[in-house]
């Protein structure tokens, strides 16, 4: 319980939840963002800040529309999402399999466990130069980067989840004649799922970071590259537009992921 | 003996407001008087609101309906005149036993030497001499509760509010602590309001037992439970056993009602 | 004979350490063997010995310390700014409903965003030198600190707060003397999450912006197809990261001695 004294009880009375209609709640919650947006527009238009450094939000929006119409945004997004998606998918499949495998076979755990521990604290972005070295500026280096960088959280999540598998469940499955493989599929994987899904969530956020970083640094197309080139051109409105797009994509991806997972888990219960 | 009414509770109602859902009436028209230096037990089934009443007296929850007067003045918030002891000790885990006990003393303007002396005196009183520099995580349950009691006694509150303080202890430690509490009360003679759901504990420790009804909590009956507590075999005397049975039957009715409310 | 037994004793003492390090040693051996096997070109995977030689050269030449120092300086500067800002914001948000309402969506929306996307904006505003790098680092690292501070403070058991108030603690005293120490384990965790983030972002912004620093050096090596330099950078960053994480864990144990027995 987290009541912080009599004064908080009074505060709770003042903002009594019963008095706010359901539809208003998300509006009230995100209102500060609206305020920020208005402040942005106002301070830029009124000259409070240099409109070069901070173009009015309305102009950024207009630039966004232009980019969308010209197809530039779409092609950049397509390139980025392809790379991110492919890398993440590989990371999830291989990482998940590895994690579950490590939890189920001691030899594998003994071999790979220390490697996982070793690479865990290493900043994954340190892999950017080496993937560029190997595969250049194209899709390949990004996919490899994201695959390698995002594998670890998934592996650790899957491993921890699988470790937690109810022993009794596993033994009763075995006694019913399930083969090792079957048991993994029927018992270990489902119980590993929640923690693994948590690991995937971390990997999702990480994939965005690695994607944007590598595209800012060494790419010829994609959203990160687009931001850089628009900035270099001096088209700051458009640059802001793409920056916000990327930021929102990261946020939306996370929320969508949570919603899908929540739906799927409920369906499983 | 006991003095005039020190704590007056008049027509107090309290609503419990959960974050979602409607409010629930927790206490209904509680009226009670506690005399100076009296040991009063609040006894009732789970959920009857006895702890809530204690928190209202302590000023941790605001009194919305009715009034609670302590020494003639309405309760406006927590204060060192009503010291509280919680079931789960609420010790500050990053402070040693000594530092915990000193905390209340530091809020009062006493010279340093006196603070240290008082703290040591109370640590000795509860039998924790030698453990002054231990951390709570190094202590057993009984020792933690003694620390909590020493800490509360140290700043010399007129009233002691105890919220099922021995509930988290094993049976043997509990009976030892009960006897110790009585001897401390004899020595310090504070007003004690003791919340419990254990009939035997209430009858043994208190001079009067206020039996509360199931939610919404009301004072059902007040039973006199004065015995010669210096007699180590008092709990075996017929008078005592009869009293326990009497109180138990009062509580049993309410416990059954509370159960029925949970499963309609 | 004596020499042999001396060696034997030394081996026995070294035994456990060697065992713990054996996966790393195995990895190193595997790297060396695989690189020299001819299965991959020295360009793709330079042998470990070459990479180590290169690190040695860098160390002797002073480049290693310069670059490591610069990267660490930026990462630590950004980290400490993030901790200070995170503490201030977290404390404000736990105590003030308005602050909480205003910043909550900013934090929950900002957390999953790839904030590195804002780097060109930060460069536009703050230039091409350390200020923008450190700002970017701080912006990224502040999020885990704020959420940890808020969670830590809000998670303090109400009985601890009530006990402190009971003993006369006022709002400010409550915050600094009770809430922050009680929330410390969680706050430290937040800091332990924030530091690796600070290091990663430091490396990335260096790769993007050039100049001195481990990230910049690595990217430079990559551009010049200097694969030994690239791998040297990976090893250096890995070692720096590992050492700092270990240091933080040690620091945490020291600070949470009182928690030690509780196993946190």
Tens digits of residue pLDDT in C84-137: 999 999 999 988 889 999 999 999 899 889 999 999 999 999 988 899 999 999
Pairing of strands B219-224, B208-212: antiparallel
B17 with A5: Cβ contact below 8 A: no
pLDDT number for residue C18: 63
d(CA A257, CA A263): 10
Which chain B residue shows the shortest CA-CA distance from C159? B90
pLDDT band at C140 (very low <50, low <70, confident <90, very high): very high
Chain C closest CA to A137's CA: distance in Å?
A: 11
Is the pLDDT at A181 greater than 50? The verdict is yes
CATH 3.30.300.170 at C48-253, yes or no = no
CA dist A30 → A12, A24, A66, C104 (Å): 20, 10, 27, 9
Region of B91 on the Ramachandran plot (φ > 0 left; ψ -120 to 50 alpha; else beta) = beta
Nearest to A79 by CA among A259, A230, A214, A206: A214
Residues of B in contact with A13 (CB under 8 A): 17
A17 with B59: Cβ contact below 8 A: no
Chain B closest CA to C195's CA: distance in Å?
A: 25
Q: Which architecture does CATH list for B1-81+192-264?
A: 3-Layer(aba) Sandwich (3.40)
pLDDT number for residue B62: 92
Q: Which of C204, C234, C241, C243 to mutate to test the interface with A (most CBs of A within 10 A)?
A: C204
8 Å CB contact between C212 and C162: no
Among the residue ranges A94-98, A178-182, A255-259, C155-159, the one predicted with the least confidence is: A178-182
8 Å CB contact between A216 and C119: yes
Residues 6+ apart with CB under 8 A from A246: A208, A212, A223, A224, A227, C114, C117
B77 with C165: Cβ contact below 8 A: yes
A250 with C114: Cβ contact below 8 A: yes
Nearest to A200 by CA among A165, A156, A259: A156
What mean pLDDT do residues C144-155 have?
93
pLDDT number for residue A7: 43
Q: What is the pLDDT of residues A84-130, one digit of tens each?
A: 999 999 999 999 888 888 887 888 887 788 778 778 778 888 999 99
Q: DSSP string spanning C35-90?
A: HHTTSS-TTTS--HHHHHHHHHHHHHHTHHHHHHHHHHHHHHHHHHHHHHHHHHHH
Which chain A residue shows the shortest CA-CA distance from B60? A6
pLDDT number for residue B255: 84
Q: Which of B19, B86, B89, B138 to mutate to test the interface with C (most CBs of C within 10 A)?
A: B86
Nearest to A255 by CA among B143, C163, C103, C113: C113
The radius of gyration computed from the CA coordinates of chain A, to the nearest angstrom, equals 24
Listed by start position, the domains of chain A span 59-268
pLDDT band at A13 (very low <50, low <70, confident <90, very high): very low
pLDDT number for residue B40: 94
d(CA B171, CA C55): 66
Is the pLDDT at C23 greater than 80? The verdict is no
d(CA C163, CA B103): 10
C184 with B82: Cβ contact below 8 A: no
Comparison of pLDDT for C170 and B228, the residue scoring more: C170
Chain-wide mean pLDDT for chain C?
88
- The answer to whether residue B77 neighbours chain C at the CB level (below 8 Å) is yes
Residues of A in contact with C215 (CB under 8 A): 125-126
pLDDT band at C16 (very low <50, low <70, confident <90, very high): low
- The answer to whether residue B60 neighbours chain C at the CB level (below 8 Å) is yes
Handedness of CA A137, A140, A143, A145 (dihedral sign): negative
8 Å CB contact between A225 and A216: yes
- The answer to whether residue B264 neighbours chain A at the CB level (below 8 Å) is no
Chain C closest CA to A183's CA: distance in Å?
A: 30
d(CA A3, CA C156): 9
Q: Could you say which DSSP state residue A4 is in?
A: -
Pairing of strands B65-70, B39-43: unpaired
pLDDT number for residue B231: 77
Chain C closest CA to A178's CA: distance in Å?
A: 34
- Other chains touching A, judged by 3 or more CB pairs under 8 Å: B, C
pLDDT number for residue A18: 52
CA dist C59 → A127, A245, B146, C40 (Å): 22, 43, 60, 28
Structure tokens at C233: 């950078």
pLDDT number for residue B229: 75
A227 with C125: Cβ contact below 8 A: no
pLDDT number for residue A108: 82
- Phi then psi dihedrals of residue B129, to 5 deg: -55, 135
Residues 6+ apart with CB under 8 A from B11: B29, B30, B31, B65, B66, B67
Q: Which of A6, A17, A18 sits opposite B62 (nearest CB)?
A: A6
8 Å CB contact between A113 and A102: yes
Tokens 């420790």 — which residue? B205
Residue A180 in 3-state DSSP? Answer: helix
Residue C123 in 3-state DSSP? Answer: helix
Q: What is the 3-state secondary structure (H, E, C) of chain B?
A: CCCCEEEEEEEEEEEECCCCCCCEEEEEEEEEEEECCCEEEEECCCCCCHHHHHHHHHCCCCCCEEEEEECCEECCCCCCCEEEECCCCCCCCCCCHHHHHHHHHHCCCCCHHHHHHHHHHHHHHCCCCCCCCCCHHHCCHHHHHHHHHHHHHHCCCCEEEEECCCCCCCHHHHHHHHHHHHHHHHHHCCEEEEEECCHHHHHHHCCEEEEECCCCECEEEEEECCCCCCCCCHHHCHHHHHHHHHHHHHHHHHHHHHHHHHCC
Q: Which of C162, C168, C261 sits opposite B137 (nearest CB)?
A: C261
Q: Which of A4, A118, A130 sits opposite C234 (nearest CB)?
A: A130
Residues of A in contact with B59 (CB under 8 A): 6
C225 with A213: Cβ contact below 8 A: no
Residues of B in contact with A12 (CB under 8 A): 17
Q: Which architecture does CATH list for A59-268?
A: Orthogonal Bundle (1.10)
pLDDT band at A187 (very low <50, low <70, confident <90, very high): confident
The radius of gyration computed from the CA coordinates of chain B, to the nearest angstrom, equals 19
8 Å CB contact between A81 and A258: no
Nearest to B185 by CA among B44, B83, B69, B68: B83
Residues of C in contact with B90 (CB under 8 A): 157, 159-160, 162-163
Q: Which of C157, C166, C257 sits opposite B84 (nearest CB)?
A: C166
Pairing of strands B159-163, B191-196: parallel
B90 with C159: Cβ contact below 8 A: yes
8 Å CB contact between A222 and A83: yes
8 Å CB contact between B12 and B29: yes
Structure tokens at C185: 């384990």
Interface size between A and B, measured as CB pairs under 8 A: 17
d(CA C201, CA C141): 9
d(CA A57, CA A42): 9
Which chain B residue shows the shortest CA-CA distance from C185? B94
pLDDT number for residue C61: 86
Chain B closest CA to A251's CA: distance in Å?
A: 28
Q: Which of C35, C101, C105, C114 to mutate to test the interface with A (most CBs of A within 10 A)?
A: C114
Chain-wide mean pLDDT for chain A?
83
Residues written for chain B: 264
- Phi then psi dihedrals of residue C227, to 5 deg: -70, -30
8 Å CB contact between C86 and C146: yes
What mean pLDDT do residues A64-82 have?
92
Chain C closest CA to A87's CA: distance in Å?
A: 16
- Phi then psi dihedrals of residue A235, to 5 deg: -85, 75
pLDDT number for residue A247: 92
Q: Which of C121, C162, C241 sits opposite A240 (nearest CB)?
A: C121
Entry pTM = 0.84
Q: Which of C103, C233, C245 sits opposite A126 (nearest CB)?
A: C233
Q: Could you say which DSSP state residue C167 is in?
A: T
Residues above pLDDT 70, as percent of chain A:
88
Residues above pLDDT 90, as percent of chain C:
56
Q: Could you say which DSSP state residue C210 is in?
A: -
Listed by start position, the domains of chain B span 1-81+192-264
Listed by start position, the domains of chain C span 48-253
pLDDT number for residue A167: 66
Torsion of CA B111, B117, B118, B124, to 10 degrees: 170
Residues of A in contact with B19 (CB under 8 A): 17
- The answer to whether residue C52 neighbours chain A at the CB level (below 8 Å) is no
Greatest Cα-to-Cα distance within chain B, rounded to the nearest angstrom: 61
8 Å CB contact between A153 and A119: no
The parts of chain B modelled with pLDDT lower than 70 are 1-3, 262-264
Residues of B in contact with C260 (CB under 8 A): 137
Q: What is the pLDDT of residues C43-64, one digit of tens each?
A: 888 888 889 999 988 888 888 8
Among the residue ranges A40-49, B122-131, C160-169, C193-202, the one predicted with the least confidence is: A40-49
Helix (H), strand (E) at residue A266: helix A236-268
pLDDT number for residue C264: 40
């Amino acid at each position: 319980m987290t009541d912080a004294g009599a004064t908080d009880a009074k505060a709770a009375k003042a903002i009594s939840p019963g008095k706010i209609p359901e539809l208003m709640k998300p509006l009230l919650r995100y209102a500060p963002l609206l305020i920020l947006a208005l402040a942005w527009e106002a301070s830029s238009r009124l000259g409070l800040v240099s409109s070069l450094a901070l173009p009015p939000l309305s102009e950024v929006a207009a630039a966004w529309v232009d980019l969308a119409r010209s197809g530039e945004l779409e092609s950049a997004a397509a390139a980025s999402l392809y790379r991110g998606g492919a890398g993440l998918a590989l990371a999830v499949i291989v990482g998940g399999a590895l994690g579950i495998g490590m939890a189920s076979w001691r030899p594998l755990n003994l071999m790979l466990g220390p490697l996982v521990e070793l690479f865990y604290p290493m900043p994954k972005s340190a892999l950017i130069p080496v993937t560029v070295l190997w595969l250049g500026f194209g899709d390949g280096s990004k996919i490899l980067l994201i695959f390698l960088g995002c594998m670890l959280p998934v592996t650790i999540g899957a491993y921890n989840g699988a470790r937690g598998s109810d022993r009794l469940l596993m033994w009763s499955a075995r006694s019913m004649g399930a083969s090792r493989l079957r048991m993994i599929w029927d018992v270990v994987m489902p119980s590993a799922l929640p923690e693994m899904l948590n690991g995937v969530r971390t990997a999702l956020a990480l994939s965005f970071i690695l994607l944007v970083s590598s595209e800012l640094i060494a790419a010829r197309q994609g959203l990160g590259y687009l931001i850089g080139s628009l900035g270099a051109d001096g088209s700051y409105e458009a640059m802001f537009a793409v920056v916000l797009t990327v930021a929102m994509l990261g946020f939306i991806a996370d929320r969508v992921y949570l919603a899908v997972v929540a739906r799927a888990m409920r369906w499983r219960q | 003996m006991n003095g005039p009414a020190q704590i007056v509770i008049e027509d107090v109602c309290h609503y419990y407001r959960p974050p979602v859902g409607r409010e629930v009436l927790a206490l209904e028209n509680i009226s009670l008087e506690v005399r100076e230096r009296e040991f009063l037990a609040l006894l009732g089934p789970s959920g009857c609101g006895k702890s809530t009443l204690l928190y209202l007296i302590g000023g941790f929850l605001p009194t919305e309906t009715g009034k609670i007067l302590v020494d003639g003045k309405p309760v406006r918030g927590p204060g060192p005149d009503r010291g509280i002891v919680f079931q789960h000790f609420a010790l500050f885990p990053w402070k040693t036993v000594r530092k915990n006990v000193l905390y209340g003393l530091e809020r009062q303007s006493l010279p340093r030497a006196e603070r240290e002396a008082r703290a040591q005196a109370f640590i000795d009183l509860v039998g924790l001499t030698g453990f002054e520099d231990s951390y709570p995580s190094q202590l057993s349950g009984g020792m933690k509760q003694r620390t909590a009691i020493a800490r509360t006694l140290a700043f010399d509150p007129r009233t002691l509010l105890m919220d099922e303080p021995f509930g988290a202890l094993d049976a043997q430690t509990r009976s030892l602590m009960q006897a110790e509490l009585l001897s401390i009360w004899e020595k310090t003679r504070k007003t004690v309001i003791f919340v419990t759901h254990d009939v035997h504990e209430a009858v043994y420790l208190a001079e009067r037992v206020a039996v509360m009804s199931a939610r919404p909590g009301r004072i059902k009956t007040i039973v006199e439970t004065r015995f010669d507590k210096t007699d180590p075999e008092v709990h075996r005397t017929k008078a005592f056993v009869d009293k326990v049975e009497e109180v138990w039957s009062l509580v049993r009715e309410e416990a059954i009602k509370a159960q029925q409310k949970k499963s309609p | 004979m004596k020499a042999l037994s001396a060696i034997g004793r030394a081996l026995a003492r070294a035994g456990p350490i060697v065992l713990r390090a054996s996966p790393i040693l195995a990895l190193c051996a595997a790297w060396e063997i695989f690189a020299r096997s001819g299965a991959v070109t020295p360009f793709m995977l330079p042998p470990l010995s070459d990479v180590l030689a290169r690190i040695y050269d860098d160390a002797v030449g002073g480049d290693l310390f310069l670059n490591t120092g610069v990267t660490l300086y930026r990462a630590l500067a950004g980290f400490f700014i993030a901790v200070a800002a995170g503490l201030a914001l977290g404390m404000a948000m736990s105590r003030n409903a308005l602050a909480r309402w205003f910043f909550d969506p900013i934090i929950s929306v900002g957390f999953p965003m790839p904030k590195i996307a804002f780097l060109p904006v930060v460069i536009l505003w703050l230039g091409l030198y350390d200020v923008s790098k450190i700002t970017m680092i701080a912006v990224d690292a502040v999020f885990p600190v704020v959420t940890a501070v808020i969670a830590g403070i809000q998670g303090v058991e109400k009985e601890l707060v009530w006990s402190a108030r009971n003993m006369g603690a006022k709002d400010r005293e409550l915050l600094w003397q009770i809430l922050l120490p009680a929330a410390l384990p969680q706050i430290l965790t937040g800091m332990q999450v924030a530091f690796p983030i600070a290091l990663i972002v430091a490396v990335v912004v260096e790769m993007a912006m050039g100049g001195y620093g481990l990230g910049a050096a690595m990217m430079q090596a990559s551009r010049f197809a200097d694969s030994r330099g690239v791998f040297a950078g990976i090893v250096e960053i890995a070692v720096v990261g590992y050492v700092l994480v270990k240091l933080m864990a040690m620091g945490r144990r020291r600070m949470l001695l009182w928690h030690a027995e509780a196993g946190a």
